[in-house]
Every structure is written in structure tokens, then in C-alpha cells.
Structure 1
Amino acid sequence: MEDPVLSKLQVFEPASALSHNFRSHFPTLMPLMEVVPRIIAPADYAKKQIIDNQWRTLPNARARHPQRLNEISEPDKFWAQLLKTEDFSELAHFALSTLSLPHANADCERVFSKVNLIKTDLRNRLTVETVNGTLLAAESAKV
């Protein structure tokens, strides 16, 4: 994988994030923060430092947080649990934001295709709200 984000996403696996041994490979999240400027502004050094400090103390979280973090194997549930804590909220927000990035444009292209089917020459005066509502109704009608 040559993608600069995808190649680093293993850091957000719960087992990796809680491992002291894993820190020899990824002691800091700074390289990852550099490749996602829309999540963390390049000049926001204070926020980067907070996230990195939380990352460095995360392996010790098991002792401080009895929510059995080491038993959660799904990354989204793991980071959602940490988002509820004060100690790791910035790190969890960064992790969830990074994990939710689309890594391909296929989903966006599908939405554009659906909009083109909805907003035809005969229906060219539909407002954005109406098109959004139609897309949401069509999506919720899928079973």
C-alpha cells in the first residue's frame, strides 16, 4: 500500500493502540497528522501536541479506565469508548475522523449519479433540500 494514510491505519487497531511493544514502531502520530491536513491543520501545533501526548499515554489507560478497553476489538467501538473520557477525547476524535475518511471516490460518484437521476431536465428547479430529502428517502427505503 502506497497510500500515506492507509499504510498507517494499523495504529488505530485496539490491540496496537494499547500495546507497549507497538510503540517501538509508532512512538508518535505526527507523521499521520501531517498527511491529513483537513482533520488537523498543519499549523495547529498545540492540538497536535495534545493528541500526541494522549497517544503516548494510551497504553497505560487500562489501569485508569476500567471499561475493559483491552476486550474491545472493533476500532470504531474502541475509539467511541475513549471519546467519552476526558483523558483521550482529542485522540479519539482524531482517530474516528481519520478512520471515517473515504479512501476512494466511488461513494461520491454514486451519489452524483443518483443526483443526476433525480434532477433531470424536467425537474431542474428542485432545491438542494428537496434533492437531499429524496436521496435520504431512497436510502432509507433500501432493505
Structure 2
Amino acid sequence: MSSRFSDITDSLLSASSLADLKSWPDTFDSEFGADKLTAITDHYREFLTDRTDIELDLIDQEWMSLKTKIYNSHKPSELSWNVVWETYGETHKNCLHMIDLLLTLPGSTAECERGFSQLKIIKTEIRNKLSSSTVSNLLTVQLNSEEVEDYDATQAIHHWLRVKPRRTRHLERKLTTLTAKDDNDTVYVENETELQDPALKATVEDSDSSDDSCYDSEESVVSSDYSDCDIDI
């Protein structure tokens, strides 16, 4: 184990202890974290030089100021990085971006294992022609979505209806009673129930002009495509 993690004392792995506020000293130490922050900056320097929102020259200065303010107003072990960001993010964003990089490092391979398990469920022998982008999107949904019982689909439904024209005319009315066919084999509706959701109704009404394939403009006419409806002849 020692040979496998021989660089644990002077590497990014050691510097990652900065992200644990409970491991900070009880009292202010001007030298605390300076070398570790430098190791983090050096490790990610190639990536950070392409970022226009991070000024590397200000990181050390901001780090000293951030430590001073935290110890003057708080007890580090009782804080969270969300609170630190909300309180000092505007004036210390460069050094806090370094902490964010540490917080993205996985603590174990459990998340990877969950990803492999979900991949086997999604991409089966029957669905072996799924594209990489589709698999990636499905995995994102599976791994990051809320539980089914906690999920509110209203926003997703409205988005689905807005992104492009849909054949949603059939959602506008619920057929309750149908009369017999006339001489042209057309079925007429006697009673209708309006859609209850106002937001969905407004979306459906917007699409009425582009889809009149199932209803006549003057009276509600259901085409013979609705062969599964109960018809009282």
C-alpha cells in the first residue's frame, strides 16, 4: 500500500485535504494551505490558462484574505463550502475555483460502478444500435434524476409541447358520447369535456391552427381514425 501511494504526501491527493473544512487548524495559521494550493494550481495550470474567468496571479492573495475572514467570523469546522461561496464568492472567486476542482474529485469508484451497471441495463442486445450521444443522455437521466415518486413532470411536458409542433389536438377534448355515423360515415361528437390544465390548454390552443386533421372547424368532427372509441349506433 505504501509503494502504491508513495506520493500521497506531496501530490494532489494530499492537497485535497484543503477541501475538508473539519481538518483545518482550530486557530489561524498564515502558512496553512499555501503549499497545497500551489500544488493544486500547478496540477491544473494547463487547463486554467485557457479560462478567462480565473486570474492565477490573484489566487495566493485571495487565499490569505479568505482564511483571515473565515477565522475572524466563523469556526471552519462548522462551515460548508456552499456558505463560503455565498459569503465570499464575489471577492475570492479565483481561489474558491481551486477548491471546487478538489470537490469534483470522486472519493471512490462507487459512482463509476453505478454507471457501468446502468449502462448494462440501457444498452442491451436488443438496443445495441444506440448512438453514443443517446447512451450518454440516458445515463445522465438515470444517474442524476430524482426518484420517480418525487419527480414533477409538468415542466418536462410543457417543454416537450413547446420545442416543436406536436399533434396535440386530440388532448384538447375528452370524448364522452358519440352518435351514429351519417351518410358519409362520419362520427359526430355530442358532449365534450374541456382540458383542465390551463397551461397545457394554452399550449394546445397554440397548435390548433397547424393541426386540423382530426376535427372540422365548425363542429367537432372525429375522423374514422379513432376506431377504438366506443360508438353508440
TM-score normalised by the chain length of structure 2: 0.44
| 1:109 maps to 2:109 | no
1: CA distance, partners of 2:43 / 2:136: 33
- Is residue 70 of structure 1 aligned with residue 75 of structure 2? yes
Q: What are the superposed Cα offsets for residues 62-117 of structure 1, whole Å, 9 maximum, x if unpaired?
A: 599xxx4436624433433345x321122222212212212444422320231122
Query: 2:189 maps to what in 1?
Result: none
**SS of residue paired to 2:39:** helix
| Gapped regions of structure 2 (runs ≥ 5) | 151-233
C-alpha contact 2:59 2:95 (8 A) present in aligned 1: yes
CA 1:134–1:81: 2 relative to 1, 3 Å: closer
Deviation of 1:18 (Å): 8.9
Q: 2:14 is aligned with what amino acid?
A: S
Q: 2:104 aligns with which of 90, 100, 106?
A: 100
Q: Which runs of 5 or more residues in structure 1 are unaligned?
A: none
Match of 1:128 among 103, 122, 135: 135
Aligned partner of 1:56 in structure 2 is 64
CA contact (8 A) 1:13 1:75 kept: no
Does the aligned pair in 1 maintain the 2:115–2:143 contact within 8 Å?
no
Question: How far 1:128 sits from its partner (Å)?
Answer: 3.2
Which one has more relative contact order, counting CA pairs under 8 Å at least 6 apart? 1
TM-score scaled by length of structure 1? 0.65
CA contact (8 A) 2:15 2:40 kept: yes
d(CA) in 1 for partners of 2:25, 2:66? 7
- Sequence identity, in percent? 21
**Could you say which residue in structure 1 is the equivalent of 2:55?**
47
Contact 2:21 2:77 in 1 (8 A): yes
Q: Contact (CA 8 Å) 1:11, 1:26: kept in 2 or not?
A: yes
Partner of 1:34: 42
Partner of 2:225: none
Q: Do the aligned partners of residues 109 and 88 (structure 1) sit closer, same or farther apart at CA in structure 2, a change above 3 Å counting? A: same
Deviation of 1:120 (Å): 0.5
Q: Distance in 2 between matches of 1:17 and 1:88?
A: 20
Q: Which is helix-richer, 1 or 2? A: 1
- Cα RMSD for the two superposed structures: 4.0
- Show the counterpart of 2:92: 88
Q: Which structure is higher in strand share?
A: 2
> Is 1:79–1:95's contact at 8 Å kept on the other side of the alignment?
no
State the alpha-carbon separation in 1 of the partners of residues 93 and 100 from structure 2: 10
Q: Which has the larger radius of gyration?
A: 2
Contact 2:21 2:80 in 1 (8 A): yes
Decide whether the 8 Å contact of 1:20 with 1:59 is kept in 2: yes
